[in-house]
Structure 1
Amino acid sequence: MNETTGTTSTPRGALGWLWLSAAIVVADQFTKWLVTHNLALYERVEILPVFGLTHLHNTGAAFSFLADAGGWQRWFFIAIAVLVTALVVVWLRRLPKQGHGWLAAALALVVGGAVGNVIDRVAHGYVIDFISVHWQQWFFPAFNVADSAITVGAVMLIIDSFYEGRRKQKLI
């Protein structure tokens, strides 16, 4: 218990999980650097029959949403990502340090992914995508490490919401 405030919350909450966000940003930026320095734009390298690398630039959001919108979307997506990142960091700060590791990890993955893509948008005006998954002639839209972190974090948040509901039911 904090003697000055009389509360049991810690001032930093689960901010210790931001190391995971930083690791995602480093991995994301490093892999993008490797791609831009080793593959020409649109160059494709097949690794497996269902997986390859393709150097692409995405000015839009997921699945190239608004990619041809004329340029305003760059700042719109930056603003959304910065706002979401700030809100998630506040959430992490308020989250108890103990007992919520899964939720904290999910939030940290989302933060890392958002920051990784914001760096691209600010520096280049687009996000560098390169992971290509396909089956015969069907291609899933290319993505990157940041996108993967956001997706995994979002799935973890959904899973956590199911368990949170069960925890609340047990308390009743």
Structure 2
Amino acid sequence: MNQHPHKNTRQFGLFAVVALSVLALSQAIGYWVNETIPLHSSIEINPFLFFTHVRNHGGVFGLLQGQGWVFGLFSAVLLGGVAAYLRFGEALTRAEYLCFGLIVGGGASNVLDRLIYGSVIDFIDVQGIPYWHYVFNTADVMIHLGIWPMLAIGLWQARGAKPETP
């Protein structure tokens, strides 16, 4: 446990601002999609990008349709645990707090969609990619924008770590 919890208060503030901003942005866009684009309808943005209003009643990539409550409950518990760790655990770098803000904000938005609408509103439909038939949302983009740099940071830190000598 962090013996000086005040040291990561400012960094936690960064995490909270990013997470709440992502949550607000994702919810606003999802509301717009829900109110503007009829379910199962599309708006062509360009030949490769459509906004197609679909609902995901399952988990990632539409797995386990009808069991969205399982993913919602699991996600809510996991997100709460991550936030608690970030607040009370060891201090991390600003980049890590930023990445976790993107991940938690996106995850919280998908959980909130399940609570409000009973499913996740997906709409970003990229065409022309072989074997890709998935529609996703702003929250999913934010989650990926957080996960991939975190993986890169972890790999970079692991490469720089020197093995302990006995």
Shorter-chain TM range is 0.7 to 0.9
Matching residue's letter, 1:54? T
2:155 is the alignment partner of 1:158: no
Matching residue's letter, 1:58? N
**Number of aligned residues:** 160
- In structure 1, runs of 5+ residues without a counterpart are 1-6
- In structure 2, runs of 5+ residues without a counterpart are none
Provide the TM-score with structure 1 as the length reference: 0.84
SS of residue paired to 2:135: coil
State how far apart, in whole Å, the 2-side matches of 1:116 and 1:136 are. Answer: 26
Matching residue's letter, 1:108? G
Counterpart mapping for 1:7-156 below 5 A: 7-10=3-6, 12-13=8-9, 14-16=11-13, 17-67=15-65, 71=66, 73-93=67-87, 94-96=89-91, 100-135=93-128, 139-156=132-149
User: Following TM superposition, by how much is the alpha carbon of 1:168 offset from its aligned partner in structure 2, in angstroms?
Assistant: 2.6
Superposed CA deviations along residues 133-167 of structure 1, whole A, max 9, x for unmatched, are 01078653010011111112111221111122134
Superposed CA deviations along residues 77-126 of structure 1, whole A, max 9, x for unmatched, are 111111110121123212426xx011111111111011100111111110
Provide the TM-score with structure 2 as the length reference: 0.86
Superposed CA deviations along residues 40-95 of structure 1, whole A, max 9, x for unmatched, are 1111111111111001011011111111xxx4x22211111111101211232124
Q: RMSD over aligned Cα, in angstroms?
A: 2.2
CA contact (8 A) 1:110 1:154 kept: yes
CA contact (8 A) 2:23 2:108 kept: yes
Q: 1:23 to 1:56 in 2, by over 3 A?
A: same
Q: 1:82 to 1:11 in 2, by over 3 A?
A: farther
* Partner of residue 4, structure 1: none
State how far apart, in whole Å, the 2-side matches of 1:8 and 1:26 are. Answer: 31
Matching residue's letter, 1:159? A
State how far apart, in whole Å, the 2-side matches of 1:138 and 1:74 are. Answer: 24
User: Following TM superposition, by how much is the alpha carbon of 1:12 offset from its aligned partner in structure 2, in angstroms?
Assistant: 4.9
Q: 1:32 to 1:126 in 2, by over 3 A?
A: same
Identity of aligned residues (%): 26
